[in-house]
Amino acid sequence: MKSLVCSWRHSRLLWLVTLWLGVIFLAGFFHMNVNITSSYRVWRFSTKHLRPSYPQTNVMFLKTHKTASSTVMNILFRFAEKHNLTLALPAGQNHDLGYPHRFMAQFVEGFKTMGQSYNIMCNHMRFNLPEVRKVMPNTTTYFSIMRNPISLMESSYAYYSFFTPAFRRSKDVNEFLASPWTYYNMSEYRNNVHARNNMWYDFGYDNNAMDTEDYVQHVLVEIEQAFQLMLLTDYFDESMVLLKETLGWELDDVVYFKLNSRSQDTIKSMTPESKEKVKEWCSLDWKLYQHFNRTFWRRIQEIIGLEKLDQEVNLLRMRQKELMELCLLDPMPIDKTKIKNKKLKPFQSGRANILGYNLKEDMANETLRTCLRLITPELQYMSYLYARQFPEKNGKSTAFSLWRR
């Protein structure tokens, strides 16, 4: 009997030891698993913003209005030409992708036969993600650019003063902002999109919507989910550095000459009251800008850091200065009346006096091509690329042959 009890106790002891070792093993396993998962999450967080090992060639840029987006478009056009990429260009004689209507895939030239074989999309549109996804590959990087709504309002007023009914009825931007509902008519919805919350509209949302916290937060989340990168006009050089690092491009890919800029005499001084009124009248745009201003600087910290950012911005400006000295007859953009080659005269709009450039003479052919690409206005450049991509179709009305010179 005693031997049986001892045997039972021994067996029970072995069972308890085995159970305990099993618990320790499982605990260690789960602890290890948690650590692995935790390490994996840290790894994902720390590497998801690393510079790509090769240049990203599938890019969708939402070209917002009066945000220096024409300069960004020039950068994308040059990159597309350099790498022989396919552009999602407006069909026929159109110069935008259906704006102010919501974008549809059929607005892209050749979509019915080409499908998702485009690399770069960057013309004006009113954003419509499901339709854009029909055109652009799944690996596409989406980005856009925003501007402080105060300076945006002043610029929009000058540029669209003859086209926007709310602006046309008022004497100047200060008079308009003193009493916007006097001039703004809701029934003229699409004709007045530049007069109120224009960025909100460009992103595909109702620019006359009620400004409620839940609605604004919902829209901000949707935009963050759709776009991997948001640039700021007010920090343009910093934005170009961020774009370069995000897409894995080179310095010369993002160097630029300012395009579609205005002469100083057409820039209207805004009163302090007008500036404050913009925040109320365009409250959706104001909240949009405030939010992405914060995320912009967080992104800078994650990808570059402020110290390296300063270095990269200096390199960009040095290269810009080198190219300006190489290419330009004048050190600054010049009045439209002084542009010698009329094929390089930018489109003029409203009360704005849009400036351009003169190139130096007797440049070598390759240098000439490089310089031409940097200064060519968007309509002329788009027309050239359209003719190049669709030689069998009738060219757009502004097509020209400077590159064949």
Res 311: pLDDT: 97
Res 400: pLDDT: 43
Please state, in angstroms and rounded to a whole number, the distance separating the CA atoms of residues 205 and 394: 34
How many helices and strands in the chain, by DSSP H and E? Answer: 17, 4
* Residues 157-185: tens digit of each pLDDT: 999 999 999 999 999 999 999 999 999 99
CA nearest to 87, candidates 45, 136, 18: 136
CB 216 within 8 A of CB 287: yes
Distances in Å between the Cα of 131 and the Cα atoms of 109, 112, 128, 199 are 14, 13, 6, 19
> Among the residues of 119-228, which ranges form H helices?
129-135, 149-160, 165-168, 173-178, 180-183, 198-202, 213-226
CB 353 within 8 A of CB 266: yes
pTM here?
Answer: 0.85
Residue ranges in the chain whose pLDDT is less than 50:
1-48, 399-405
* Residues 219-230: tens digit of each pLDDT: 999 999 999 999
Please state, in angstroms and rounded to a whole number, the distance separating the CA atoms of residues 19 and 25: 10
